[in-house]
Every structure is written in C-alpha cells, then in structure tokens.
Structure 1
Amino acid sequence: MKINTDLVFFPGIPLKPGAHCMLRISKMTDYALVIMNRLAKSPVQQQRMEELAEATKLGLPTVRKLMRQLVAAGLVRSERGAKGGYQLARLPEMISIAQVVSAVEGPLAITECCDDDGGCELTDGCEVAYHMPTINELIAQILNTISLTDMVGMGAGVHHNVQTILSRLTERNAPPLV
C-alpha cells in the first residue's frame, strides 16, 4: 500500500522526487501488522503458523518470532494440538495499532528525549526537548485510535480521511470507523 504523503501528512508541501519518509516503523513491526490484519479477518478461526506464513508471504522463522512476541504481549493466543493454532486474544476492534507496535518495538519514542531511559546527551539546554513528548503523545494517540477492525476496513477499500481519524481522538468509546 502506497501512502500519498502529499495529501495525508503534509498538505500543501510536496514530497521531493526520490525522497524517503523519515518516521518509519521497522520491517518486523510492519510484518506484525500484516499478520494481525490476517488474524483480524477471521478473528474466531484458529490459524496455524504455516498457514499464516503462506497467506502473508512471510518466512516461517519470521512468523514464529513475531507470534512469540504477540502472544507475550497478550494480543494473540495460541492453542496446541491437532486443532490448535493462533487467533486474536481480543476482538479486533479492541486491539490498536499502537499495541501491535509496542509488542514488537516497545514503547513509542520518536526521539531519544521521549525514551524512558533519557539517552539524549543534548536534553539540557535543548530548545525542542520540551515539545517532543507532546508530539510523541499525539502520534501514540493516533495509533491508539486506529484498531485492527479499522485496518481491515481500509484494506477492503473503506476510505478514512485524516480528519475522520483525528476527530476520533476527542471521542470517548468511539465506534470503529468501519
């Protein structure tokens, strides 16, 4: 899926030809979202690891590693045996993109000054360090607003503009976008 960054993220500011996005999730997180999207399409059906690997075109070792992380985070449950497999631990509308990102990468921290260990050596006297946690929190809230149900709907051609998603940030117990 290609995102039109000119329209979605930076209205009025064209992306330079050949430019790359800067805020990027890791490949493993991307793959975890692919797996979770697959599980969300059939939330009550057990899916074997081999089936997930084949359906998502991911290597079995990658799927195995991610499933361990997703199970450990409580997003997926596993059942052993001939009829065993993996399925979502909760309804897809109760699992946010932020939870999947955190399961693979840990807490969201767009800069070192947002990281819990405070690893930035420039924080003292830095003019932007004060603002970065606010920006980090906004990104976290947006990712918390988008559920697996929303993501499955987006893949099915249901379009959600940025304004619709942002309006959900102020709503309590908002229903899924789909």
Structure 2
Amino acid sequence: MIEMKVAGIALDAVTRSPIVLLKDGSDRRALPIYIGQDQAKAIMGALENQKPPRPLTHDLITNLFEAWGLSLDKIIIHSLQDNTFYAVLCMRQGEIKKEIDCRPSDAISIALRTDSPIWVMEEVIADASIPVDRDADEEERQAFRDFVANLRPEDLIQRRGLEQNDEQ
C-alpha cells in the first residue's frame, strides 16, 4: 500500500466532472478519481477547514465517531472494477477493529475531517495512476538500466555471501 494525500479538486476538461486528485509522497504519481459535485464540495470544505453553521453529512459522521469513541485509523482504496473505485474505512473502538465499505469520495472526505491517512493498494495505482514527474521517472529508469548494464555475476555472488554471513 502507498500513502497518498489529496492534491486538490480538478475539473475534467471535456465533461466538466469533478476529479479528486491524490498524489504519493514523492509527488511522482497521481491518482485521479471522478466524483460527484456534492462530494467535491464536501472535500473542498474539508481542505479549506470550513465549518458550516450546522453539520453536513460528513461532519455528522465524524461527530458520531467522537460521541461513540470510534477512531478512523485509515482509509484504504483497495480496488478498481469496471471504472469504479472501492474503499473501506478502517475503524477502531478500543480493541475492536472493523472495515466498513465506503465510496472513495466519502472516505476521503471523512479522512480529511479526522486527519486520517489515505492508503491506496499498489495494484490500483498501477492500473489507474498517471505520472506527474516524467523526467524523474525517466532518470530512475535510466539509472536502473545503467545499474543492470554494469552488473557483474561476481557482484551478485559477493552480495549473497555478505547476506549469508549476516544471517549467521
């Protein structure tokens, strides 16, 4: 799993649909997730620390968590099926832990309000992320190519010998 942060809300240039954009810690990969207008407003409200005069749905949920001693440990966006993302809220009440199915947009909105981490499975990132820093990606690929090109069998044998000594 890779921890990601909300980079912001964007609009699809063609459909004008809102997209929540998640970025990894190195700002190398971005995960765009299409969401509805209401969910975009809820996420933006949390990003801007807006406090409505009366609790909106996600605020109400976080108030319920607090009133009942529930903690949101993290959210996990765990799969992508037929262009639909799936997420869970990883909840805790004392020693009891539960995972609750949730739309990613709702999970993100609640995570922002509770200052909880957002995790995404590697498979989801591999399937749906977009590169943010193509130059850094290419530099990394070239460094790996150079490493492999200069690798000698003796280096592997020597490294394996060091690992075996460390295990003893």
Question: Which protein is richer in strand relative to its size?
Answer: 2
User: Relative contact order (C-alpha < 8 Å, sep 6+): which is higher?
Assistant: 2
Q: Fold match, TM over 0.5?
A: no
Q: TM-score, normalised by structure 1?
A: 0.25
Q: TM-score, normalised by structure 2?
A: 0.26
Question: Which protein is richer in helix relative to its size?
Answer: 1
